[in-house]
Structure formats: structure tokens, C-alpha cells
Structure 1
């Protein structure tokens, strides 16, 4: 999953089997999962440490052995909690994996209702909940299938996904089936936030003023700052810096450019400020980060 893209523009898997497994590990105090969304569903299980996962406008403390379900189009992000490193496994899959060739009851009554958020499903699956234990074991099995890829694993995986969606529906939609559809909570705010962040991702290498961002959603600057903080748990300036630093880190890993050039390329016009902010987010200056990345790559050979 590319953390540098808000709206992912990539295929997970292939048209014949539109699903991909991602294994990610992060050092404590380093940025983890930037705010983004994709059309696919996602099951994400923490395998080490504890993370604060934000899905939509809600925050969840997710411990090792616990999982979250991310609906199609749902904004989500994550950060590490505590002093321990954090790892997770995530299966990202398109609804086409469980669609029928022609519209049927499964597609019309359930899948579309989930994707359009007319039916609300649980997001956080907790280890201390007896209701969630079966789902967590099925998610773990689903992830293992995609790690090992035994013969005919696709058939087993598709069955498990259908079981998981049915279980989530039973837990989350009691009394909702047959009821008049209700609009997703704060959906208009989410759409406005997506527009702002898409602007940031398009213009991050250029100067970005608060007035520019506020104009995207027709707000005054003071109201916009409150809106952004409410929706993302961070300020616009901090979010812009984080996004620029993710690009800077990727360039440090992949190129031999000088730090001054990298700073300018990602939108910092003051190298001292770039180094200061980089150290704040990554726990070390960019030169030390580059050395660590090089040593890690060498040890992995």
C-alpha cells in the first residue's frame, strides 16, 4: 500500500484475483500509515505492538492480535502507540472478488449496501470480545492463506471473505435490514476533507497557504483549521509536513541526492527547518536516517 497516495490509483492483485497481502513494519516513534482511501475493502491485523487507527472520523486503539475492517472509500490512517515497534498484515481486496457475474441478492442486498454505507459494520475487532474471537481467527486464517499460497487457496479465501462479511453484518446491522437507508455519518465532511487532502497531495512541492486550503472548501481560515483538526487529529501544517517528509524519506532511500536538493524538491525552502522537522518525525536527522536505511539494506542481503 503506497502511503504517499491519498486516493490509491493501483490494482491490488490482478483482474482474475483482485486481492493483495501487505506486510508492513515500523520503528517506534516513526510515521506509520498516512491518511488515504481506496475502493477496495481491507482487513488489517496488528501483529506486533499497538496502533491508533483512525477509520472515518473514529479512533481505535488496536493491539497485537486485533484487527480492523475498512470499508470501500473509507478514509483511514494509523500511528504507533507506546515504545514498541509495530507491524501489521493487511489484505486489500476488491468487491469483484465476491461479486456474481450478474446482479444478484448478495450484490444488491448486501455488498452495495455495505459499500454505500447503508449498512454499518463493526470496524474494530477486539481480542477481549467473545463475539469477535471467531472473526479474528478467520481473519488470521485468511491472512495465512495469502502468506503461504497453498494449492487452491483462492477458493478457501473467497469462502472466508464471504463468511467474514456475513459475520460482520450480523454483528453490526441487527435491525437495519429492511429499514430505510440512512446517509453515512458526516459523509459531507469526509468528502470535503478528501478534496483538501487531494489538493495537498497535488501541490505539496509548492508553497501552500492556509488560505489556499480554506478556499478549496469555501471556509474561512479559522473555521477550516478547526474542521481539519477535528477530522484528522492534526493541524494542516503538521499534515503537510508529514506528507512532504514521507516523500523526502522515499527519496533518501532511493536516490543519492543531497539533502538540500531533497528538501527543495518536497516543498521545504529552508533546509534547517527541514532537518528539524525530519528529526521530530523520524527520531533522527536525515543523514542518520540514510545511514540506517543503507545498513538495513546491507544486512538484508
Structure 2
């Protein structure tokens, strides 16, 4: 792993240049809209399909009684490239092979095989893989609290942000990798009692972090202007709630409390994507999930995910995934 300087540490350097770029691409308050009809919906699934459900802030991870979700992410996963998002749970990412470029609240890191990343609750993050295979464990830290109080202070300190776990854990650490492997093996096996093994491994991980004092001190978000992160989170939330409907640039700008011209530049400086590129990326991810977990027609899935023209849906899907929706569905189902 090596630290990468982030362009987002100097977002205002992009404003005029990106504003011109957005204007040239036709992203204006009057013309930039992302038309859609239909209502979004994904059928409830069980078993292997659960691994494809997303982990955005408004989606429950695991169940009420077992608030832990495990994802083995390969090139075929709908969320192979994670666009910017955040959630109230904590997350552990462990890279198995290749490289994973992770952004945490505007700071870039490059992870290689054997590297592990701990993402605190509320941190805006994204991940861009380079031929990477990685594991993601998303869990509610509050579920680790027990009645006997043993170890509760260490957990409570993390929950309250009194202590913030360092985002990049020691590279190649045998103990951390062994615990991650235990979580993977138990989750994939699913045998009776696997939940106890997973929860035990997470508790051991917190124990290792506590004993070695793997804390980063100041929260990443505290180092960055909350004047940037808070409006950005509001916009991401708006897109998550309205991706199936018509989304106007003016509405996004209003949600952020900015003028449309400034918002376009601001959004690009945060994500390296224009608003329409981000919205389309999110819609395609949703479409991938529906293609895998439902028998809904491709036309209806396109409508459900905000595309009112099937030709534009297929063209956009191919650009993001590298294949057509029909070919993607066939490939993923044959893999199962």
C-alpha cells in the first residue's frame, strides 16, 4: 500500500475548468435532466443472491438479529467498482489480489494483496479496482456490545468516535489476514453456528486493534471541511432515493445548496465524475442487481432503474459493464 496525493485536497483548482467541461457536455440547469419512468423494485432473495445486495447507507446489512454482511467481490460483482457512498456501519476491506484504489473522505490510498482497510461509520468512500479480488465485511459495531461489559469500553470508544481506528491496517499482518479468512470461510460455508464464528472473529479484530493501539487519532472527516462533505452526502442520498425517477441538475444543486454551475464543478471535484455519469453508474449497479435477482424483463429493469429508452439503457450498460444486459444475466446465472 502506498499513499496517493488526492486532487480532492484542492477542489477549487478544478472549478472554472470543470464548469466549462460540464457546459460543453450539455450539463446545464435547463437541459441536464435524466428522464425516467417506472418504479424501482428488487425481489426479495435468499441464498447466493444475497451477496449481490448493495451496501449503501439506506440498505440494511444482514438482518436485525445478525447485522453483518460479507461480500466476495470479483470482476463480475455488480459493485466491483464502488462509487462514492457512505453508511452507518463499519467496514473491513481485505485485498486478495490485484490493486484497489480506495478513497476515504477525499484521501486516496492504493491497496495491494494482503492490505486491509478499516472504514469507520459515516466515512464517504469509493473503490476503483485494478484487476482486484477483495473481501468486504460490513457490520454494525453496536451489535458487538455484550451484557458482561467485557471489552465494551473499547467498542464504545469506537462507536462514539472517542477513538478512531486507523484506516489502513498493517500490511500483510498474519493475525488480521487470518481473522479475515475465518470470516470468509464461515460466511461462505454457512454451516450451523457460522454466525458465532464471524462475530467472534470481528471481536478478535477489535481486540487486536485495541492491544496494538491502531488508532489514527483524528477522524478523516474532521480534517476536511464539513462544508464539503455534508452537502455531498445529501446529494448522494437524493440520488439513492430518486434514481428511478427524473433527476434534474437544478434539483441536485438545490439539495446541495449551490448554484447549478458551481455544483457541477463541486461534484466533479468530489467524485471525478459529472452528475450524469454518477447517476448512470448508480442506475447500472441497480440494474445489475435486478438482472441477477429477478426474472423481470430487461425493458422493465431499464425503466425501473431510470432509463426511459431501452436503446440508451443497453448502450449505457455496455459502456459500464462491457456486455449487454442479456449477456450479463446469462453469464451470471450460468456461473451459479
Q: Retained in 1: the 8 A contact 2:74–2:80?
A: no
Matched, 1:6 2:52: no
Which residue number in structure 1 is paired with residue 85 of structure 2? 36
> Residue in 2 aligned with 1:90?
136
SS at match of 2:244: coil
What's 2:280 paired with?
A: 241
* CA deviations over 1:223-280 (Å, ceiling 9, x no partner): 1112111222211111100111112222222334443332222111222222211111
Q: Pick one of 75, 79, 88 that aligns with 1:26.
A: 75
Q: Structure 1 28/22 Cα, relative in aligned 2: closer, same or farther at 3 Å?
A: closer
What's 1:192 paired with? 231
Matched residues in 2 for 1:293 and 1:155: separation?
A: 32
Match status 1:48 vs 2:97:
yes
With normalisation by structure 2, the TM-score equals: 0.70
Coordinate RMSD, CA, aligned: 3.3
- Is contact 2:93-2:118 (8 Å) kept? yes
Name the stretch that deviates more: 38-47 or 98-107: 98-107
Q: Does 1:146 align with 2:196?
A: no
Indicate the residue corresponding to 1:64 in structure 2: 113
How many pairs were matched up?
276
What is the aligned partner in structure 2 of residue 278 from structure 1? 317
Q: Cα offset for 1:18? A: 4.7
CA distance in 2, matches of 1:29, 1:65: 23
Aligned residue for 1:216? Answer: 255
Q: Is the 8 A contact 2:73 2:135 kept in 1?
A: yes
Distance 2:239 2:254 in 1: 13
| RCO higher in structure (CA 8 A, sep ≥6) | 2
Can you give the 5+ residue segments of structure 1 that lack an aligned partner in the other structure? 126-131, 177-181
- Which residue of structure 1 lines up, in the alignment, with residue 245 of structure 2? 206
Cα pair 1:6 1:36 within 8 Å, conserved = yes
1:155, distance to aligned residue in structure 2 (A): 4.5
TM value normalised by structure 1: 0.77
Which whole-Å CA distance do the structure 2 matches of 1:100 and 1:295 have between them? 43
Secondary structure of the residue that 2:214 maps to in structure 1? helix
Work out whether residues 22 and 91 of structure 1, in 8 Å CA contact, stay in contact via their aligned partners in 2. Answer: yes
Instruction: Give the C-alpha shift of residue 157 in structure 1.
Output: 4.4
Unaligned runs of 5+ in 2: 1-50, 187-192
Q: Deviations over 1:134-154 (max 9, x none)?
A: 7x3222121122234499745
Kindly indicate whether residue 208 of structure 2 is the aligned counterpart of residue 163 of structure 1: yes
Give the Cα separation in 2 of the matches to 1:48 and 1:286: 27
Change (3 A) 1:155 1:271: closer
Residues 189 and 2 (structure 1), Cα distance of their counterparts in 2 relative to 1, 3 Å cut: farther
**Does the alignment pair 1:124 with 2:161?**
no
How far off is 1:219 after superposition?
A: 0.4
